[in-house]
Amino acid sequence: MGKSIALFGTSADPPTIGHKKILEELSKIYAFTISYVSNNPTKKHIEDISIRSYLLKTLIEDLDNPKILFNQSVSSQWAVDSIKKCKEIYEFNNLDFVIGSDLIKDIFYWKNFDKIILEVSFYIILREGYPVESNTLKMLETYKVKFKISTIKIPETSSSNFRLNFNCSNLPTSLIDIVKKNNLYESTKLVE
């Protein structure tokens, strides 16, 4: 059996201290974590993917951990394509697709869901307010989805919360100046 890797795609609009914690914790569990930014077809993104990928790349470079790799070339709005690209580039037998508990019930409607569940196991990160409900667990079992539920504790923050209150304490330190100097997410600030 080969080493296992985590594939962590995110819309990262912007990357937060939650993303940072997830990456740090994944590096303790997996031989490698491959991360990238994608456009989620069910979300409206505030900043362009090139800006979001630059922010995530900066965060990963700042972590300076050889087990955490940024590879934007695997990015696709469709998980099935990102998984395929990742398997073409990296020669590992085991691939876990990292997903937040807020999105796990959506996987049953993903493009090529039937192919995805043959290619990967899901590593579910619990998010505050989004438990994995019993009916979702039953569906995962019914479809024979391989999955593990993480015990990683992440900060109670999200990209959407940052956009609502523009609280820079929710951003990794390495990104604060970039966001401020380039007036990123300014249009989402609440006007007082």
Question: Residue 53: which of 86, 76, 33 has the closest Cα?
Answer: 76
Q: At CA 50, angle to CA 44 and CA 51, rounded to 5?
A: 80
Residue 187, pLDDT > 80, answer: no
Pick 4-188's CATH classification: 2.60.120.590, 3.40.50.300, 3.40.630.30, 3.40.50.620.
Answer: 3.40.50.620
| Residues facing 121 on adjacent strands | 96
Secondary structure letter of residue 10 according to DSSP = E
Least confident interval from 1-10, 54-63, 140-149: 1-10
Rg (CA), the chain: 16
**According to the model, what pLDDT value does residue 188 have?**
58
Under the banding of pLDDT at 50, 70 and 90, the label for residue 1 is very low
Looking at every residue in the chain, the average pLDDT score rounds to 93
Residues 112 and 108: their CA atoms lie apart, in Å, by 9
**According to the model, what pLDDT value does residue 91 have?**
81
Q: What is the pLDDT of residues 81-97, one digit of tens each?
A: 999 999 999 887 789 99
Q: What is the pLDDT of residues 23-80, one digit of tens each?
A: 999 999 999 999 999 998 888 999 999 999 999 999 999 999 999 999 999 999 999 9
Residues 121 and 128: their CA atoms lie apart, in Å, by 22
